[in-house]
Amino acid sequence: MAVAIRFDNVTKRFGDLTVVERINLEIEPGELFFLLGPSGCGKTTLLRSLAGFYVPESGSIWIGDRDVTRLPPDERDTGMVFQSYALWPHMTVAQNVAFGLELRKIPRDEIDQRVADALAMVKMGDRADYKPNQLSGGQQQRVALARALVIRPQCLLLDEPLSNLDAKLRLDMRTEIRRICKQAGLTAIYVTHDQKEALSIADRMAILDRGTIQQCGTPESVYRRPVNRFVANFIGETNFIDARVASISNGRATLDSPVGPIISTALPEAPLSIGQEVTISLRPEVIHVGTEPKDPSNVFTGNIHDTVYLGEMAQHWVNLPPVSSFEEIALKVFELNPKILAHDEEVKEARVWFRPENAVVLVT
Amino acid sequence: MNRAISKIIFAAASVIFALLFLAPLSTVIQGGFWVNGRLTTDYLIGVFRNPIYSEGLFNSLMLAIGTTSLVTLIAVPLAWLTNKYDFPAKKWVSGLILVPMILPPFVGAIGFQQILGPYGGLNTLLGLGPVDWLGRMQYWGVVSLQALALYPIMYLNANAALANIDPAMEEAAANLGCKGFTKFRRITLPLMMPGLFAGGTIVFIWSFTELGTPLILNYTKCASVQVFDALKEIGTNPFPYALVFVMLVCSVALYALGKFVLGGQAYAMQSKAATVSNVRTVTGARGLLVLLPFAFVILVALTPHLGVIATSLAKPGSWYQSVFPASLTLGNYAEALGHEMTVSSIRNSLLYSSLAVAFNTVLGIAIAFVVVRSDLRGRGILDALAMLPLAVPGLVMAFGYLAISAHVSNTDWVKTSPFWQNLLDVRTNPTFFLVIAYSIRRLPYMVRSAVAGLQQTSVTLEEAAANLGAGFLTTLRRITVPLITANLIAGGLLAFAFSMLEVSDSLMLAQRADYYPITKTIYELFHLIGTGQYIASALGVWAMAFLAVTILGASLILGKKLGAIFRA
């Protein structure tokens, strides 16, 4: 049932503007795959090209072993959930869901059964005779999902399906969507700009910026080992430190930074050369403050000059004094289950340390 | 949407539109400049040299200027009051004030004559002798009748323009010490100018070429009546062509001026309804004071039609040297419905109008679809073209259709075939040309309605259908059309109502009694000696009631958007 999806060198232009350029993607059967990026990065364009609303200028798109590049939308057999849900206001919930089945000339009693099943799956069985405008945003969203799923499409396309919901509902719905996708065994492509959605439920994800794929991988690999400044900055929060390669041995590099030498074992795939300019990405939560160093490699002494207390954690700004004539560096640090209190009267001196595998070296 | 499908629709809509709209216009132009196989401007110059024609043109121009000025004077203060005050019975009044729009001035003219005639109600009321008011003041008679019928168009435009002005604009002026009439003149009026030009253009073109009212009031020295009188010579005389051409050029030039130079610069408001507009509630004596101008205008505007109703109820010959008819009867209605010409005319009008609306709906949806849903390069041009029938007077179009008909019915293949004769020769059967004329004239309403509907309907609703496997036609039938039904019905009702009481096309194209529509029948009955005007009035009352019901239906469906349809 589940099929693979392949983008092969896909380029889409609007007039002079190239929106996506030479995209290559392979999505495995049954995978919940995310396209993630800021607005204007081309993620929705890719999804709409897959649905058939856009035809790319070059390259090809495959669903299973079918080349669908030039196929009209109504012959692609994809189920799409639109950002605005696009429920037809002149039809009831049940009529909305039944529409795709009617087009497939399925017998009436089977339609009724499948509509009932689909609505039950999204927990909307008791709203079958309502009109869309009588439903809340979350309910509309679930009807849209049922409408897309009931036709048992080859793949499910989700275009920012949760962006119109409030925060609490979004949390519930995203696990719900994953449950439904896995239960139906569908290949699903999910477009969003919300990294939390992607990190929490994606099997794999592609990060897009300005029409090209920056990185593709599992949420963990993308988060822990971003390949460039854009990805490191877009997914989660990070500190950037400019540095220069001093020495390398056995996958362990020593880097000269404004605050002194930093040891890293998180090196890029491409080999580094001595003297090369690089950037070190340090996530705020991998920097420890005020505790005994468990690794002697990267230990510094700095000043906490600002603290924001957030309950489960505290967010500190720690200034590290520079060596020689460089400027000092301010690091953002998260302290979980915080001991250092907020708004303490004076600037405090504190010891700061992090493990070499958490200092990610970026070439660009 | 699929590009190939939009291209096909675009091409089909353009060809149909060009054939039905541009062909008659080019026939008019050709008829005035291409005479006996050579190009000449003699006739165009001749129109201006000929004292009769040039006087007619001048008089028509004066009619248009007079009517537009009077309309502005009536409509703008009323619109200002509506936007400024909440007064007793405002809801009723703002509905009633629109009623004259639906009553054709041409019918009102009959009642007008009864009241203002030498032996009519006014002279008797004032105890004067047989003063021939209409004979002396024909010009003012036509102007006031037209103004009293057309001011609602201006009122709707002015009202919309005022409602669109951010109250903060006026508050800012007040804050700087500007108030009263100065504030209105310096701030409000300039801001509503584009709206006024939009409404003024329609009123001007309408009154410039109005045929029915001058005809009934016997004001023959104007261009429209001269064209009507020259119809018999349509095959031989190039002068009416040239005259019609001049009217066409004037109208289109004015339309272009209004749309692209003056009306085009609609001011973008920073914020809309950011602050609650400061409508003041007035009650008691001050409330009545605000109500007074509305009541006065409604009363005066409805007088001609009250006259029609009174005439229709009068025993023939009994409204003579009396304020009101001396004895009343329902006999005129019975006679009107029994008269074979009226019965067939009602049937004819229903048939023509229904066919016209059906044709319009299809063409309107097609054009709106291309304009809103495609990215084809020429869609803007198609949109502008579809609005052009507003700029081209009905008289010009009717003349063009008549000229085409006269031209083709002289060819052998039409002469020898009853089928083609029935279709294309208006002397045999005007159905085809009347339906085309009715529908093309009302096409803008239909296109506007459909465009508005499509713009309000998110394209993702159609994409969702395509995604589930619906092809173009299925999507259109199951999703798009049901979603814009309200707009289509509203536009269709308006088109239908206006077709039912169309004057110029009907008077000119219907030439055989058994094919007369209602308006032509009213006109012919009016000229019958004896009981004619009473039966004509009875038929007119029937038509007005019918029109009132349809427009009411349209306004209920369309709500406040009704005004948007009358903007150029």
pLDDT per residue over B198-233, tens digit each? 788 888 888 888 888 888 888 888 888 888 888 777
Residues A184 and A264 in one domain: no
**Is the CB of residue B549 less than 8 Å from the CB of residue B543?**
no
**Sequence spans of domains, chain B:** 41-162+194-271+282-329
- Kindly identify which residue of chain B lies nearest to residue A83, measuring between CA atoms: B460
With beta carbons less than 8 A apart as the criterion, state whether A118 and A97 touch: yes
Q: For the ranges A347-356, B112-121, B236-245, B493-502, which has the lowest average pLDDT?
A: B112-121
Q: Where are the beta strands (DSSP E) in B214-371?
A: 280-281
| Window from A74-88, B252-266, B298-312 with minimum mean pLDDT | B252-266
> What's residue A109's pLDDT?
95
Residues A257 and A210 in one domain: no
Residue-level pLDDT at B118: 66
**Residue position matching structure tokens 């400044």:** A229
Name the burial class of residue A35, with classes exposed (0-12), middle (13-18) and buried (19+) by CB atoms within 10 angstroms of its CB.
Answer: buried
Average pLDDT over residues B449-476: 88
In angstroms, rounded to a whole number, what is the distance separating the alpha carbons of residues A289 and B518? 93
Q: Are B242 and B176 in contact (CB under 8 A)?
A: no
Answer whether B471 touches A (CB < 8 Å): yes
Distance from CA of B12 to the nearest CA of A (A): 22
Cβ distance of A88 and B461 shorter than 8 Å: yes
Judged by CB atoms closer than 8 Å, whether chains meet at B468 and A147 is answered as yes
Cα–Cα dist A207/A194, whole Å: 11
CB contact (8 A) between residue A88 and residue B468: no
Do A45 and A184 fall within a single domain? yes
- Structure-model confidence comparison of residues B73 and B425, the more confident one: B73
Nearest CA in chain B to A97: B468
Q: What is the 3-state secondary structure (H, E, C) of B102-143?
A: HCCHHHHHHHHHHHHCCCCHHHHHHCCCCCCHHHHCHHHHHH
Cross-chain residue pair A84–B466, CB shorter than 8 Å: no
A132 touches chain B (CB under 8 A): no
Chain A residue closest in CA terms to B481:
A90
Please tell me which of the candidates B2, B474, B483 has its beta carbon nearest to residue A103.
B474
Q: Are residues A241 and A225 in the same domain?
A: no
For residue B458, give the nearest of A76, A86, A147 by CB distance.
A86
Rounded Cα–Cα distance for residues B348 and B340 (Å): 12
Q: Collapse the DSSP code of A313 into the 3-class scheme (helix H, G, I; strand E, B; otherwise coil) and give the result.
A: strand
- Residues forming a β-bridge with A288: A353
pLDDT surpassing 60 at residue B91: yes
Given an 8 Å threshold on Cβ–Cβ distance, is A80 in contact with B474?
A: no
Inter-chain CB proximity B464 and A72 less than 8 Å: no
A198 and A272 in a single domain? The answer is: no
Contact B461 A77 (CB under 8 A): no
A251 interfaces chain B, CB cutoff of 8 Å: no
- A80 to B470: CB separation less than 8 angstroms, yes or no: no
User: How far is it, in rounded angstroms, from Cα A47 to Cα B485?
Assistant: 31
Which of A45, A68, A97, A103 is the mutation pick for testing B, counting most B CBs within 10 A?
A103
- Flag if A86 and B468 touch (Cβ within 8 Å): no
In a mutational test of the A interface, the residue from B1, B456, B462, B468 whose CB has the highest number of chain A CBs within 10 Å is B468
Q: Which domain holds residue A195?
A: 5-231
Q: Which residue among A192, A208, A231 closes a domain?
A: A231
Asked whether residue B278 carries a pLDDT value surpassing 70, the answer given is: no
State residue B273's pLDDT score: 43
Note whether A147 contacts B: Cβ–Cβ < 8 A: yes
Long-range residue pairs from B373-382, CB within 8 A, at least 24 positions apart, any chain: B373/B1, B373/B6, B373/B454, B373/B459, B373/B462, B374/B1, B374/B3, B374/B6, B374/B10, B376/B3, B376/B6, B376/B7, B376/B10, B378/B10, B378/B14, B379/B10, B382/B10, B382/B13, B382/B14, B382/B17
Decide if B377 touches A, using CB distance below 8 A.
no
Sequence-ordered list of residues with C-beta below 8 angstroms from that of B431, at least 6 positions apart, any chain:
B351, B352, B355, B515
Q: State whether A254 and A195 are in the same domain.
A: no
Task: Please tell me which residue of chain B has the smallest CA distance to A55.
Answer: B2
User: Given an 8 Å threshold on Cβ–Cβ distance, is B474 in contact with A75?
Assistant: no
Read off the CATH number of the domain in which A319 is found: 2.40.50.140
Indicate if A328 and A254 belong to the same structural domain. Answer: yes
Report pLDDT digits (tens) over B383-400: 888 888 877 888 888 888
Distance from CA of A312 to the nearest CA of B (A): 41
Interchain CB contact of A148 with B (< 8 Å): yes
Of B460, B463, B470, the CB nearest to A103: B470
Question: Given this model, what pLDDT does residue B275 score?
Answer: 43
Partner-chain contact B468 A100, CB within 8 Å: yes
Interface contact flag, B470 A74, Cβ < 8 Å: yes
Nearest residue on chain B to A101, judged by CA atoms? B468
Q: B467 CB near a chain A CB, below 8 Å?
A: yes
Q: Are A125 and A119 in contact (CB under 8 A)?
A: yes
- Give the domain B41-162+194-271+282-329 fold: MetI-like fold (1.10.3720)
Q: Measured between CA atoms, how close is B465 to chain A, in angstroms?
A: 8
Q: Is residue A233 less than 8 Å (CB to CB) from chain B?
A: no
Question: pLDDT tens track of chain A, all 364 residues?
Answer: 689 999 999 999 988 899 999 999 999 999 999 999 999 899 999 999 999 889 999 999 999 999 999 988 888 889 999 988 888 888 899 999 999 999 899 999 999 999 999 999 888 999 999 998 889 988 999 999 999 999 989 899 999 998 888 888 888 888 988 998 898 889 999 999 999 999 999 999 999 999 999 999 999 999 999 999 999 999 999 999 999 999 998 889 999 999 999 999 999 988 899 999 999 999 999 999 888 888 888 999 988 888 888 888 889 999 998 887 778 889 999 988 887 765 555 667 888 999 999 999 998 7
B468, B471, B483 ranked by CB distance to A99: nearest:
B468
Inter-chain residue contact A82 with B470, CB threshold 8 Å:
no
pLDDT score for B270: 44
CA dihedral A109, A111, A112, A116 (to 10 degrees): 140
Q: Touching check for A104 and chain B: CB below 8 Å?
A: yes
Strand-pairing partners, residue A19, are none
Q: In this structure, which amino acid lies at residue B439?
A: S
| Helix (H), strand (E) at residue A174 | helix A167-184
| Ramachandran angles phi, psi of A211, nearest 5° | 85, 0
**Are A304 and A190 contained in the same domain?**
no
CB atoms B466 and A89 under 8 Å: no
- Supply the DSSP symbol for B262: I
Residues on chain B touching A131 (C-beta within 8 angstroms):
none
Distance CA B17, CA B360 (A): 11
Nearest beta carbon to residue B463 from set A53, A90, A151: A53
| Domains contained in chain A, number | 2
**pLDDT on residue B271:** 43
Q: Are strands A204-209 and A32-36 parallel, antiparallel or unpaired?
A: parallel
Strands ordered across the beta sheet of A298-309: A288-289, A348-354, A298-309, A313-320, A329-336
- B5, B377, B467, B474, best to mutate vs chain A, most A CBs in 10 Å: B467
User: What was the pLDDT predicted at A343?
Assistant: 56
Claim to verify: residue A252 and residue A170 sit in the same structural domain = no
Is the pLDDT score of B530 beyond 80? no
Q: What is the domain-level CATH number for residue A42?
A: 3.40.50.300
Minimal C-alpha gap between A77 and chain B (Å) = 7
Q: How many CB pairs under 8 A join A and B?
A: 65
Of A77, A86, A151, the CB nearest to B461: A86
Residues 6+ apart with CB under 8 A from A9: A22, A23, A24, A58, A59, A60
Collect all residues of chain B within an 8 Å Cβ-Cβ radius of residue A72: 2, 466, 471
| CA closest to A91 among chain B residues | B479
C-beta contacts of A313-317 below 8 A and 24+ residues apart: A313/A337, A313/A338, A314/A338, A314/A340, A314/A342, A315/A284, A316/A289, A316/A340
Position B568 scores a pLDDT of 40
Same domain, A243 and A319: yes
Residue numbers in A near B458 (CB within 8 A): 84, 86
Residues 6+ apart with CB under 8 A from B560: none
Higher-scoring residue by pLDDT: B329, A61 = A61
Q: Which of A258-272, B404-418, B476-490 has the lowest mean pLDDT?
A: B404-418
Taking an 8 Å cut-off on Cβ atoms, the answer to whether B471 and A104 are in contact is no
Which of A13, A71, A80, A88 would you mutate first to test chain B, the one with the most B CBs within 10 A?
A: A88
A74: phi then psi, degrees, rounded to nearest 5: -75, -5
Q: Is the CB of B2 inside 8 Å of chain A's CB atoms?
A: yes
Q: What is d(CA B203, CA B86) in angstroms, rounded to the nearest whole number?
A: 28
Buried (b) or exposed (e) across A247-279, using 16+ Cβ within 10 A? ebeeeebbbbbbbbebbbbbbeeeebeeeeebb
Residues of A with Cβ-Cβ distance to B470 under 8 angstroms: 74, 99, 103
Identify the residue with better confidence: B529 or B145. B145
Cα(B72)–Cα(B334) distance, rounded to whole angstroms? 41
Residues A150 and A40 in one domain: yes
Q: Give the mean pLDDT of B138-160.
A: 86
pLDDT at B184 over 50: yes
In angstroms, the CA A25 to CA A206 distance is 9
Taking contacts as CB-CB distances below 8 angstroms, the residues of chain B near A52 are 466-467
HEC letters along B309-332: HHHHHECCCCCCCCCCCCCECCHH
* Residue A355: closest CA among A275, A311, A303, A291: A291
Give the model's pLDDT for residue B558.
61
Q: Does A151 touch chain B (CB under 8 A)?
A: yes
Do residues A47 and A218 make contact, with C-beta atoms less than 8 angstroms apart?
no
The mean predicted confidence, pLDDT, of chain B is 81
- Give the A window 34-93 contacts with B, CB below 8 Å: 51-53, 72-80, 82-84, 86-90
The stretch B269-296 carries a mean pLDDT of: 71
- Looking at the fold, whether A131 and A258 belong to one and the same domain comes out as no
